Structure 1
Amino acid sequence: MRDAHPDVLARGSTLPGLVLDRTSRTPLHRQLAEQLKRAIECGQLAPGTVLSSEPRMAQETGLSRITVRHAIRSLTEQGLLVRRRGIGTHVAYDWTPHALDLAAVYEDLREAGRAPATEVLFCGTEPARPEVAAALALTEGSAVTVLERLQYAGGQCIGHLRNHLPYDLLRPELLSPHDGRLASVGLYGLMRAAGVFACTAQHAIGARAATPEECGLLDVPEGSALLTLTRTTLDQSGRPVEYGSHAYPPARRGFEFQLAVGSAAIPHA
């Protein structure tokens, strides 16, 4: 999906701008389902929107009816779509589109009486390493904006955060690391102010031993275990706009999940 305008679609429409890669290892039905799901999550397909019939969608996308049916069935089973005889398939009314508030940790910490603070270690550019380039859909070695910082709560360091962003979307000077706004609104507040809106995110949570550098930054003993969070954030057009790789001492920072029928778990981070 490459349409950057999340307009609500007319009755019986097929999502415009669908991009299906027939050379990809990802099955076509999954590609279709993922793009429809992203459109629902971003509000381009609003609750109650009636989709094209399966035959029409197959004709307009060049897919077989079986492929389209498989994709629709997947989203129906997730609770995102509802089928009604005589009406067709429409977006579920109990699905509420929303923009991700990935800066929610600031509000969470304030409500818990733990004043959040940020120490910027680095804000500049560097060539994209292989994993960063893959996450941001860039060519390896492309210039990316890098923000490295320590996150504090109540005076205690709770995490080491590294964020990579496409240079053409967010240059280092737009992050204003030294004027206080980063500490007050967080990275995603600054992204919104620059016109970059996070819509969906893919998270991976893991654990590993702290590196010697992290032991010094986080003031933890050598060999300590850390919780890790890697996140790729997408805007409403499906473009990756941020890749984060963060590490937290588990005794100081946990993850809270919000579960809703028909949606994925989204941890505050």
Structure 2
Amino acid sequence: MEPLTRLITIDRSSPVPLYFQFAQQLQHLIESGTLVPGTRLENEISLADRFGLSRPTMRQAMRHLVDKGLLSRKRGVGTQVLTDRVRRQVELTSLYEDLQREDRRPRTEVLSMRTGPAEGPIASALRLAPGTETVVLRRLRYADDEPMALLENHLPAGLLDLTEEDLSAHGLYTLLRRAGIALRSAEQTIGARRATAAESRLLEEVRGGTLLTMERTVLGDGGRPVEFGSHLYRASRYSFEMTLTAS
């Protein structure tokens, strides 16, 4: 196999974060079979030096792939490629845009819009110091007058001016783009859980019904996080569709 320095190219003029460039290309090498399961990689310090990246940047790239289940790190063994897994990706669109595209007449009820301190996972996702003020939005999204999703979004305070009228009439991504804020990439996790009593009432779902969960951090220019969303979808009414291609 050729050295990684011949297989991975870092473009420092690109708006895509350096760690994400490296992680994406290394992921492709793993999924394409160029790096077979069991392949051992150099340590992070050596890789960082070879690609002219900082050690924290390389550490973030490797952690990203460990979290995705593509790499494992063990003391005394180092970093190894894991067995093949199917990776599913969806488009960087909002639910509002998806519903518009399907002619499902989207409508939004703004439940609350407030400022509050970022803590824990939210502060980490937005790369903010704990306690930093954020704008917190809670909305109920309808399709053809039927409740479809419960949306909670966190944005850095001062990022853009929002009104309840704007949020009722437009999707959040549309408002961000209109304010000149680019949406370059996102990191997303999809799961499922049971609905609470309050969630069941809002979504007109049976108590304890299954909800799809999605957490997404959207990155703008320079890899700066611009939004963190935690969304709940009615599994009986909504599904995520993905196109998978053979290698």
Pairwise TM-score range, normalised by the shorter structure: 0.5 to 0.7
Partner of 2:163: 176
The reply to whether residue 61 of structure 1 matches residue 46 of structure 2 is no
Shift of 1:169: 1.6
Per the alignment, do residues 34 and 155 of structure 1 end up closer, same or farther by CA in structure 2, a change over 3 Å counting? same
8 Å contact 2:92–2:186 — kept in the other structure? Answer: no
TM-score (normalizing by structure 2): 0.64
Per the alignment, do residues 137 and 261 of structure 1 end up closer, same or farther by CA in structure 2, a change over 3 Å counting? farther
Taking the aligned partners of 1:137 and 1:177, their CA distance within structure 2 comes to 26
Taking the aligned partners of 1:58 and 1:198, their CA distance within structure 2 comes to 30
Partner of 1:34: 23
CA RMSD after TM alignment: 3.5
The reply to whether residue 205 of structure 1 matches residue 190 of structure 2 is yes
Taking the aligned partners of 2:97 and 2:227, their CA distance within structure 1 comes to 21
AA aligned to 1:135 is A
Match of 2:134 among 131, 138, 144: 144
Q: Which runs of 5+ in 1 are unaligned?
A: 1-11, 21-29, 38-56, 75-99, 263-269
Partner of 1:129: 119
Structure 1 segment 120-269 matched on structure 2, within 5 A: 120-170=110-160, 174-178=161-165, 181-259=166-244
Taking the aligned partners of 1:249 and 1:13, their CA distance within structure 2 comes to 41
Taking the aligned partners of 1:162 and 1:259, their CA distance within structure 2 comes to 29
AA aligned to 1:15 is R
Taking the aligned partners of 1:157 and 1:249, their CA distance within structure 2 comes to 8
AA aligned to 1:176 is T
AA aligned to 1:102 is T
The reply to whether residue 15 of structure 1 matches residue 12 of structure 2 is yes
State, as a whole percentage, how many aligned pairs show the same letter. 39
Taking the aligned partners of 1:213 and 1:201, their CA distance within structure 2 comes to 29
Per the alignment, do residues 118 and 36 of structure 1 end up closer, same or farther by CA in structure 2, a change over 3 Å counting? same
Q: Which runs of 5+ in 2 are unaligned?
A: 1-8, 27-47, 66-90
SS at match of 2:107: strand
AA aligned to 1:177 is E
TM-score (normalizing by structure 1): 0.59
8 Å contact 2:99–2:106 — kept in the other structure? Answer: yes
Taking the aligned partners of 1:13 and 1:198, their CA distance within structure 2 comes to 20
Taking the aligned partners of 1:60 and 1:153, their CA distance within structure 2 comes to 48
Shift of 1:19: 8.7
Shift of 1:115: 0.7
8 Å contact 1:15–1:36 — kept in the other structure? Answer: no
Shift of 1:117: 0.3
Match of 2:93 among 79, 92, 102: 102
Per the alignment, do residues 101 and 136 of structure 1 end up closer, same or farther by CA in structure 2, a change over 3 Å counting? same
SS at match of 2:99: helix
1:113-135 deviation line (CA, Å, top 9, x unaligned): 32100000011211112111011
1:125-168 deviation line (CA, Å, top 9, x unaligned): 11112111011001112110111100000010001000001113
1:14-64 deviation line (CA, Å, top 9, x unaligned): 6169998xxxxxxxxx67613889xxxxxxxxxxxxxxxxxxx9678278x
